[in-house]
Structures are given as structure tokens and as C-alpha cells.
Amino acid sequence: MSSASNRIAMKGAVNIVEEKFIDLGIALLDAKGCPTFEQKTSGSFAKPSIKVDGTAINSLSNVMLSFSTKPKTLSKHNDENCTVFYEGIIKQPIPAATTQGE
């Protein structure tokens, strides 16, 4: 699925009859199809187990650190080591150019 500025993909399964998630992964993707944020869910609908990846934790940490007087970065996303999450027909959106003065 794609919006004007983001692309997300989902892998795994949802068993509605047994009311459970089966290795369901949802990711916000970069232009190469690599996740910039990924969340994995498994277990029952009533008590799901939710895991977030290291990139998400680093992103949240960087936001918290940005409130300090001296911004720091814990780590950067390394495109060379990414595992492609999605290679389908939905392309990465191209942000519209903004006009100055509006």
C-alpha cells in the first residue's frame, strides 16, 4: 500500500477462524524495499505478542536524544546490509515538490 509520501507492506497471515496472527510483519519501506520501521505480531487476537525491530528502537531513541542540547545518533540505517521486505509492483512514492512562500 502506498500514500503520497510513504509505502508500507505486510507479510504473514491472519487466521480469522482461530483468531490469531501468524508471523505477521508490517513495515514502512524505503525506496529499495528495505524496512525503515518493522513490527512483528504473533499470537491470539486477545493477547498478541508484538515485537519491534532495532531500527525502530534506534529511531525512538534518536527522537528522545534530539531533545537534549547536543543531538546524537545511536546508529544509522545501512542500506548495504538491508534485507528487502517487499519487491512488488507498488513503487515508492515520489514526494511532490513544495513551492516556497506558500
What digits encode the pLDDT tens for the residues 57-80? 666 666 566 666 554 444 444 556
**pTM > 0.75:** no
Taking CA atoms, 83 is separated from 32, 34, 59, 102, in Å, by 10, 6, 18, 39
Q: Which residues of 36-47 are buried (b: 16+ CB within 10 A; e: fewer)?
A: bebebbeeeeee
pLDDT (tens digit, 9 = 90+) per residue, 9-26? 999 999 999 999 999 999
Q: What is the mean pLDDT of the chain?
A: 79
Taking CA atoms, 68 is separated from 5, 58, 74, 90, in Å, by 29, 16, 14, 38
